[in-house]
Amino acid sequence: MLAGFSVVPVGYGEGISNLIAELVLIIEDSGLPYVLGPMQTTIEGEPEQVLDLIMKCHRHARKSSARVLTHITIDDRQGSTGRIEGKIKDVEEVLGRNLPNEHG
């Protein structure tokens, strides 16, 4: 399963990079493959692992803010792995060129 998610603390202040850095440490600690993007983070793993990690990040953000909005997009494709990079490569192959993406 792939899941793109963003955590938005309401009333936290204008800049949230410190909070996002804390969440990245939680994600890294999980051992799941991930890609940090400018507007969301994408993680890959078994459904239970992915959803548990997203909720762990959500709960961590709640420690700093009375209200947190977490947006999740799930791509759950049976038998599919390595899709964080694979989905991008598939489109690049069709176009015959590399594209700018969150992998750099």
Domain boundaries, the chain: 2-95
Q: Are 19 and 9 in contact, with CB atoms under 8 Å apart?
A: yes
pTM over 0.85, yes/no: yes
Q: What is the CATH number of domain 2-95?
A: 3.30.70.930
> Which pLDDT belongs to residue 12?
79
> Which pLDDT belongs to residue 38?
92
Q: What pLDDT, in 10s, does the model give residues 18-43?
A: 999 999 999 999 999 999 999 999 99
Q: Mean per-residue pLDDT for 63-87?
A: 93
d(CA 50, CA 64) in angstroms, rounded, equals 22
| Residue 81 in this model has a pLDDT that exceeds 70 | yes
Residue 8 tokens read as 């938005």
Which H or E run includes 70?
strand 67-75
> Which pLDDT belongs to residue 30?
98
Q: Are 41 and 6 in contact, with CB atoms under 8 Å apart?
A: yes
